[in-house]
A and B are shown apart, each in its own frame.
Chain A
């Protein structure tokens, strides 16, 4: 409810202004909306215990807009630690609760390995590119 006055997708949603400067180098988020209403959040950088909350809040914001589908593009992610995995699992849960489809774009070992090692990969729909 608190985010209902936020702008709809389709514009840069990096909203990291509130955080300290070092985060800018570690993670970059951008959001785009496709013609079909699917929202893609593109993550570039490293998702660790310090940057995971930034990702979490961006994904929550998008889910609150109730898009048709949410795509998390992780192909530019060079590190995905357990805090990042937890964000993905939480996002999967809330996407289900809202009846929003969720897909992960995972192409690199830095992303697929932690998902495999933890067995979490089975929870997600994994695709090679954000194109349909």
Chain B
């Protein structure tokens, strides 16, 4: 195929980041889903993909809400690039908590997104973290726009490109 030299944000549109931080309560997940759907509609996703994104974001957030430490908030970072949408969602967890990847929900998530990964990390390595070594669990995913080529990551949140925009609950 063609050379894959293009780092996604260097040609054309800039990457943009949108960060949401919400309590892991029943009323907040609808807000996060709505944000995902709205972003996707304003990009060039077809309607099925918009639905897939709402479902994928919900699945990731519900999964993380179940393992969050106490009433720690959920952080969701959307990064839009020319190729699509990269999403990192994370919650603080107790030390050693893994992202559950064996259920029906995870299987659904894998069919909905083009790349999905769930892993342990620290506040120092996640976008919007406090820089400490405290444990977090992260789910990252990519969804390509129609005609974009899967095979490389859509973007890398925290790479400093583009403008940041925060929305507090």
Contact = CB atoms under 8 A, between A and B. Distances in A.
B39 interface: no
A85 B55 CA distance: 11
A43 B27 CA distance: 18
B47 A109 contact: yes
Interface stretch (A3-11, A46-54, A60-68): A46-54
A82 interface: yes
A110 interface: yes
A23 to B, nearest CB: 7
A79 B104 contact: no
B105 A82 contact: yes
A86 interface: yes
Interface size band for A: 20 to 34
A50 B26 contact: yes
A113 B62 contact: no
Interface size band for B: 20 to 34
User: Chain A contact residues: over half helix, strand or loop, or mixed?
Assistant: helix
Contacts of B104: 82, 85-86
A109 B62 contact: no
Interface string A70-90: 000000000101110110000
Interface in B62-99: 62, 65
Nearest to B33: A79
B29 interface: yes
B16 interface: no
A54 B142 CA distance: 32
Contacts of B33: 46, 48, 79
Contacts of A20: 26
B58 A26 contact: no
Contacts of B10: none
Contacts of A118: 108, 111
A114 B55 contact: yes
A123 interface: no
Contacts of A50: 26, 29
B19 interface: no
B59 A82 contact: yes
Interface string A6-33: 0000000000000010110110000000
Given A22-B25, A22-B26, 9 more contacts: A25-B27, A26-B27, A50-B26, A50-B29, A51-B26, A79-B58, A82-B59, A113-B55, A117-B108
11 contacts: A25-B27, A79-B33, A79-B58, A81-B62, A82-B105, A82-B108, A83-B62, A114-B51, A114-B108, A117-B108, A118-B111
